[in-house]
Structure 1
Amino acid sequence: MQNLGKADKTTDEIFEDHLLNFNTQQVNATRLHKDINNYLRCIRAMQTANKNLMDTLSEIYEKEWVGQDMLYVQAQNNEMLWADLAHKLADQVVTPLNTYQAQFPEMRKKIDKRGRKLIDFDAERHTVQQMQNNPNRNEAKFIRAKEQMENAKRTYEVLNSELHDELPALYDSRILFLVTNMQTLFAAEEVFHSETSKVYSELEAVVDKLAKEVQKGTLPRRAYNRPLPIANHSAPVIQNSSSMNSPPKGATTDNLPPGVLYKVKAAYKYQAEDVDELNFEVGEIIQVVEYEDPEEQQEEGWLMGVKESTGQKGLFPANFSRPI
């Protein structure tokens, strides 16, 4: 009836202003809560991605390379910085924000209750007004109606008075909360970026030193010991010397093509296990030649050869062949 204009309605313009501020404040708090939580999820995702990346870099960065220990140390420092940032945001930004936002549902319940009690009061007031204008009213009922109206009025006014105090106080609290919350966020970010910049500066220096060693040709080579495959030990095992200029016993050096040290015949089938190795069948002839890189001659038990049938060049295990 009030909404249709057929009955007067108790109004409170000051309360309506407080309610408008409350609604705006709640919308803003919900939006901030959503975006801060999403930001924290992204930070944790970046924390995981960064750890995986640094773990991979630490594993593939060979121990002979300059700064391998420093790379590992800085990777650990970086991981701790990400973990510290995620912890600070969760504990000092998101947790206070959860507490701040938790006030709104409770306050909304109180506002809704005040609205219901206002309707009750207006209904009792209208009943009294109607009975008061009726000359044939029942006085006992009229007295009870006035008592009910007074009770409804007191209940409404208590809630209304409390909200007149609580709503402005809550609205004013937004400023200090936002200042404190954002100061914590920005300070945590400042420390994180300041410290990570130092980490990445150290990592950049490590890579720069590696690049300089590569350019100078002073980078240490890994001593790579290729595992020797197992063959029938009745076949003679040919051991390569440091120069490979001394053919094994039984090997003929006469009438060989230029660059060929001696020839061998495959005593067993061999299936290559790496891209730089030869495949061959039993009986195939292989020309033994010098290593292109003398460093590779450290691989004991392996020879560099060229298959006569295909001209393919590669490493092969000496104990899979016999000299001819």
Structure 2
Amino acid sequence: MAEMGSKGVTAGKIASNVQKKLTRAQEKVLQKLGKADETKDEQFEQCVQNFNKQLTEGTRLQKDLRTYLASVKAMHEASKKLNECLQEVYEPDWPGRDEANKIAENNDLLWVDYHQKLVDQALLTMDTYLGQFPDIKSRIAKRGRKLVDFDSARHHYESLQTAKKKDEAKIAKPVSLLEKAAPQWCQGKLQAHLVAQTNLLRNQAEEELIKAQKVFEEMNVDLQEELPSLWNSRVGFYVNTFQSIAGLEENFHKEMSKLNQNLSDVLVSLEKQHGSNTFTIKAQPRPPRPARPHRKKTKLFSRLRRKKNSDNAPAKGNKSPSPPDGSPAATPEIRVNHEPEPAGAATPGAALPKSPSQPAEASEVACGTHPAAGAQEPGETAASEAASSSLPAVVVETFSATVNGTVEGGSGAGRLDLPPGFMFKVQAQHDYTATDTDELQLKAGDVVLVIPFQNPEEQDEGWLMGVKESDWILHKELEKCRGVFPENFTARVQ
């Protein structure tokens, strides 16, 4: 019988819980659909938001603190192994061996003490602080359920109050056949029964409303007092936690500094006894950066040269001078006859060796001109010179001449768009920062088209004149783009 009774109680409790869940679910649906109003407390909702934020911050702090402790333990193990290595390599006949072993033991004890104090004064306090959050979180959830029960009871009572007048109208005017067939005295009893039943339902609803309201208000009042207090306590907790960590770390480093100083003194004494066996640490050599060659010219000379160049520059729109009759400037072709010569004879047409001190000659050969005064007219050839000279006849061969930055050959082959007087290409191997307005700013990898100086006397040793290939392709304005640069920052590529 007792077992049957306990099973009945359990079944009744389960049925009651199921009924409560159904009632709450129905009430939430009605509230979401807008068919039932919901009791709201903005102040409490703000407290709940602060609680959730505080819980998130505390959980993160606990996680980071555990990570810090794991790092301290790992550092302890690494320091312990390092000291064990020192004890192994420290030979017995060396002075200070016992002191070094004692320092290693104190070092190990210091790490252990530091880790344990962090656990006691920081981690355990952190766990105690976070231990109160689960209970408060469950109470907040329960308070939410009781609020739904209160709203449901309130709505049920209000619906009975609304239906009260309808029930009284029914009782005053019998409509059922039983009521019509009953005698007069019986109708009065039926009316009284209906009134009593309606009053009983209303009273029960009122009692449930009062009970639900009481339970809800008790939990609400407790949480309204506890949540703000918990929120304000976070400041003191954070201060105490980080003060403890900072103080423990400061003391630890002070004691560790003393041990390290003692170990350094022991090693200094060992070095004094074996001073002849000192090991010197040499720095890793670095590749030398080329020195920038010294420029003799001054800024005043540079300004005078730029002014002279601007005076001699062609008019805007004419990138190269042309004859007065408008025909394009032509460069004579030099034909040289290759014939056998006696052994040891000099070859007048042989190419001159290139050197930095002869930029003017190189440019004149590239352009097909001769620097000597009284040079031949374009129609004349080198063959006539060979005829009037006592030198042996030279070989006849044709090479292309540069006209207005374009290389033209006898066969009319491909044209290369290059600046006038182009000599060769170089590529920057290092960055170069210009220090004057007439210098080129170079980055490693830039390709420069080398051209001759307009006045060979302006060329300094180790410096070249040129224009960056990218600027020439983009602008085609030699006067604005050209400049000087140090030769040893570049390497010849063509």
Normalised-by-shorter TM-score class: 0.5 to 0.7
Q: Percent identity?
A: 41
Pair 1:136-2:172 in alignment: no
CA distance in 1, matches of 2:271, 2:119: 40
Alignment counterpart, residue 211 of structure 1, candidates 271, 275, 278? 271
Structure 2: distance between partners of 1:47 and 1:2 = 60
Q: Larger C-alpha radius of gyration, 1 or 2?
A: 2
Letter in 2 for 1:5: G
Equivalent of 2:111 in 79, 82, 102:
82
Find the residue that maps to 1:5 and give its secondary structure: coil
Matching of residues 37-56 of structure 1 within 5 Å: 37-56=66-85
Residue 7 of structure 1 corresponds to which residue in structure 2?
36
The structure with higher relative contact order (CA 8 Å, sep 6+) is 1
| In the alignment, structure 1 residue 198 sits paired with structure 2 residue 258 | yes
What one-letter code is carried by the residue in structure 2 that aligns with 1:3? K
> How much has 1:49 moved relative to structure 2?
2.1
Please tell me the residue identity of whatever aligns with 1:160.
Answer: N
Shift of 1:217: 5.9
Q: Which amino acid is 1:188 matched to? A: L
User: Which of 182, 193, 214 is matched with 1:154 structurally?
Assistant: 214
Residue 2 of structure 1 aligns to a residue whose secondary structure is helix
* Secondary structure of 1:133 counterpart: helix
Pick from 133, 136, 146: which aligns with 1:117?
146
TM-score normalised by structure 1 residue count: 0.65
Partner of 2:336: none
What's the counterpart of residue 96 of structure 1?
A: 125
Task: Tell me: CA distance 1:37–1:75, structure 2 relative to 1, closer, same or farther (3 Å).
Answer: same
CA offsets 1:294-322 (integer angstroms, 9 cap, x no match)? xxxxxxxxxxxxxxxxxxxxxxxxxxxxx
Matched, 1:19 2:48: yes
Matching of residues 267-286 of structure 1 within 5 Å: none
Equivalent runs, 1:158-169 vs 2, <5 Å: 158-169=218-229
| More displaced stretch, 69-78 vs 205-214 | 205-214
Tell me by how many angstroms 1:97 deviates. 0.6
Tell me how far apart the structure 2 counterparts of residues 4 and 108 of structure 1 sit (CA, whole Å).
28
Of stretches 180-189 and 154-163 in structure 1, the one that deviates more from structure 2 is 180-189
1:199-251 Cα offsets, whole Å, 9 max, x none, are: 11221222233233332369xxxxxxxxxxxxxxxxxxxxxxxxxxxxxxxxx
* Map of 2:134 onto structure 1: 105
Partner residue, 2:61: 32
Counterpart Cα distance in 2 of 1:3 and 1:89: 50
**Aligned in 2, Cα 1:60/1:149: closer, same or farther, shift over 3 Å?**
same
User: Structure 2 length as normaliser, TM-score?
Assistant: 0.43
Give the partner amino acid of 2:231: Y
In structure 2, what is the equivalent of residue 244 of structure 1?
A: none
Deviation of the 1:142 alpha carbon: 1.2
Q: Deviations over 1:19-69 (max 9, x none)?
A: 111011000000001111111122112212211221221122111122211
- Whole-Å separation in 2 of the counterparts to 1:18 and 1:31: 20
Q: Distance in 1 between matches of 2:253 and 2:146?
A: 54
Rounded Cα–Cα distance in structure 1 between residues aligned with 2:33 and 2:250 = 58
| Residue 235 (structure 2) aligns with | 175
Q: CA deviation at 1:177?
A: 1.2
Structure 2 portions without partners, runs of 5+: 1-29, 168-197, 279-494
Q: Quick one: distance in 1 between partners of 2:33 and 2:270?
A: 83
Structure 2 CA distance, aligned partners of 1:16 and 1:132? 31
Give the aligned CA root-mean-square deviation in angstroms.
1.5
